[in-house]
């Protein structure tokens, strides 16, 4: 049974939404199956965004539904503060089979924002535990998005998400946006730009390595407009952090769980960070859950005090929630059985080819892609963001396609179950929408 839309939409203050604009002409999704949503006006809408970068195995997966339903009947809730339940441990064991070697501890959260705050807190506490209390500085990057907690917006590099919420965390610095002019329309990773990681050396010279706790970056920056790392950039950044004892946190909330052709971008790019933050695809988006992966080395630093003392004064009521854990195990089963972590490698080439055909339009300023992530950036009119929004709206109302707009960029991150015909369907919707701009 699907829900009908209430006549009054006033009470729900919608997140990251122009509420008045939305409520004047609501876009309502009422059910979903496979690659498609159903809208409240009875249309089938192809999902070009895996919800919000999360339903990697597509919608309505019965394995997950059944696991959730069974679990909620068997054990609806159990605390993980001083108590345990088997599924949280089982899930942790399953997950670390996919993480880079040496990253084998898992801290559960409920969202990407909580994963980021958890990672930042662990980084600070780690240095303190080792007697390096002066390492308190956190370094993010321009255009970085790390959720909306105070930690995440402090290291984040998106002005609108920071302005108005000050003073934020002190002692934070930001690396430059890792992009070089002239690399527009690159297929895959830009060749130019690994040297941009060297800015960390300048920060060390300026602040002193002994003041820097951690650097956090997204392997592929998503919400800031979809930016691919230049070839060799992440490796270089990793080397510099290791040289100075600075922790590297890779925020894999969107790249985790198969988005670019491996379970994690860290393994894909052959970079071993100290901490990896994830959420979204962990449960295929079905119920909220996040997971932070921590190196054994960091974990070990907390384990030297008296055994009866809590090692980390941090956690959430729902850390390792049994229902979320059941959903995550079922999602992981599905990803593994269907080989979905490899899917972006198989279809990435076709996706790239089709996406770059959109270059024919004059209004297109840049196209970026990697794995099953794509972005089309438009030349802005004097009303910044106007073209991106118009394309998004046109796709929804006339192309029966859900894409995501961030300012003048359309982001694509389809479920990993898609096939060539779905790519064609998405591209047709985009062709029509972009043509309507001219
Ligand atoms: N980090 C990254 C890289 C993200 O893309 C997001 C969300 O899109 C977050 C953190 C925050 O996740 P959540 O919205 O689940 O708090």
* 139 shares a domain with 43: no
Residue-by-residue DSSP string for 234-294:
HHHHHHHHHHHT-EEEEE-TTTTTTTTSSS-HHHHTT---SEEEE-GGGGTTSS--EEEEE
374 Cβ inside 6 Å of ligand 1: no
Residue 6 domain flag: no
111 Cβ inside 6 Å of ligand 1: yes
The predicted pLDDT at position 4 comes to: 81
109 Cβ inside 6 Å of ligand 1: no
Count of helices and strands (H, E) across the chain: 15, 15
Classified as helix, coil or strand, 141 is strand
Asked whether residue 255 carries a pLDDT value surpassing 60, the answer given is: yes
Give the mean model confidence (pLDDT) for residues 404-431. 98
The predicted pLDDT at position 415 comes to: 98
Q: The complex's ipTM?
A: 0.99
Residue 10 domain flag: no
Number of domains in the chain: 2
Q: How far is the CA of 437 from the centre of ligand 1 (A)?
A: 30
Q: How far is the CA of 85 from the centre of ligand 1 (A)?
A: 27
Residue 14 domain flag: no
- For residue 30, the enclosing domain spans 19-60+340-435
Nearest residue to 405 via CA among 432, 382, 433: 433
Atom number, ligand 1, closest to the C-alpha of residue 251: 3
Share of the chain above pLDDT 70, in %: 99
* 378 shares a domain with 296: no
Residues 223, 33, 256, 390, Cα dihedral to 10°:
-10
Residue 411 domain flag: yes
Residue 266 domain flag: yes
- Give this prediction's pTM: 0.98
Asked whether residue 328 carries a pLDDT value surpassing 70, the answer given is: yes
In the listed set 278, 313, 337, which residue is the last one of a domain according to the structure? 337
Residue 8 domain flag: no
How many other CB atoms sit within 10 Å of the CB of residue 176?
12
Atom number, ligand 1, closest to the C-alpha of residue 52: 8
Residue 260 domain flag: yes
Give the mean model confidence (pLDDT) for residues 112-118. 98
Residue 205 domain flag: yes
* 355 shares a domain with 208: no
Pocket test of ligand 1: the residue of 145, 226, 282, 285 to mutate, having most ligand atoms within 8 Å of its CB, is: 145
**Reported confidence tier of residue 1, pLDDT bands at 50, 70, 90:** low
């Amino acid at each position: 049974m699907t829900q009908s839309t209430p006549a009054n939409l006033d009470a729900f203050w919608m997140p990251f939404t122009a509420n008045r604009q939305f409520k004047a002409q609501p876009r309502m999704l009422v059910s979903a199956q496979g690659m498609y949503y159903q809208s409240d006006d009875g249309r089938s809408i192809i999902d070009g965004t895996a919800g919000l970068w999360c339903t990697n195995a597509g919608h309505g997966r019965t394995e997950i539904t059944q696991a959730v339903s069974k679990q909620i009947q068997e054990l609806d809730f159990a605390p993980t503060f001083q108590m345990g339940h088997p599924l949280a441990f089982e899930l942790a064991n399953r997950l670390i089979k996919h993480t880079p070697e040496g990253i084998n501890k898992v801290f559960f959260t409920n969202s990407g924002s909580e994963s980021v705050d958890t990672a930042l807190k662990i980084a600070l506490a780690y240095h303190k535990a080792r007697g390096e209390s002066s390492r308190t500085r956190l370094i993010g990057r321009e255009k970085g998005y790390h959720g909306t907690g105070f930690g995440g917006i402090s290291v984040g590099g998106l002005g609108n998400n920071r302005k108005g919420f000050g003073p934020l965390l002190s002692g934070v610095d930001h690396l430059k946006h890792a992009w070089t002019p002239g690399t527009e329309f690159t297929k895959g990773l830009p060749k130019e730009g690994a040297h941009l990681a060297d800015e960390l050396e300048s920060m060390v010279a300026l602040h002193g390595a002994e003041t820097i706790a951690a650097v956090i970056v997204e392997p592929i920056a998503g919400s800031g407009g979809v930016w691919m790392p230049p070839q060799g950039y992440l490796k270089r950044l990793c080397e510099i952090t290791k040289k100075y004892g600075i922790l590297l946190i890779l925020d894999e909330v969107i790249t985790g769980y198969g988005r670019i052709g491996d379970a994690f971008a860290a393994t894909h790019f052959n970079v071993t960070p100290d901490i990896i933050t994830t959420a979204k695809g962990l449960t295929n988006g079905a119920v909220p859950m996040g997971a932070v992966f921590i190196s054994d080395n960091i974990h070990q630093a907390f384990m030297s005090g008296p055994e009866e003392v809590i090692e980390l004064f941090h956690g959430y009521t729902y850390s390792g929630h049994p229902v979320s854990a059941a959903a995550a195990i079922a999602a992981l089963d599905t990803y593994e059985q269907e080989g979905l972590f490899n899917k972006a490698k198989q279809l990435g080439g076709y996706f790239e080819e089709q996406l770059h055909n959109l270059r024919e339009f004059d209004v297109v300023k840049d196209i970026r892609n990697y794995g099953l992530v794509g972005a089309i950036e438009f030349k802005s009119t004097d009303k910044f963001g106007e073209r991106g929004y118009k394309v998004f709206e046109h796709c929804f109302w006339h192309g029966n396609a859900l894409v995501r707009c961030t300012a003048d960029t359309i982001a694509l991150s389809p479920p990993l179950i898609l096939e060539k015909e779905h790519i064609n369907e998405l591209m047709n919707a985009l062709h029509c929408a972009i043509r309507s701009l001219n």
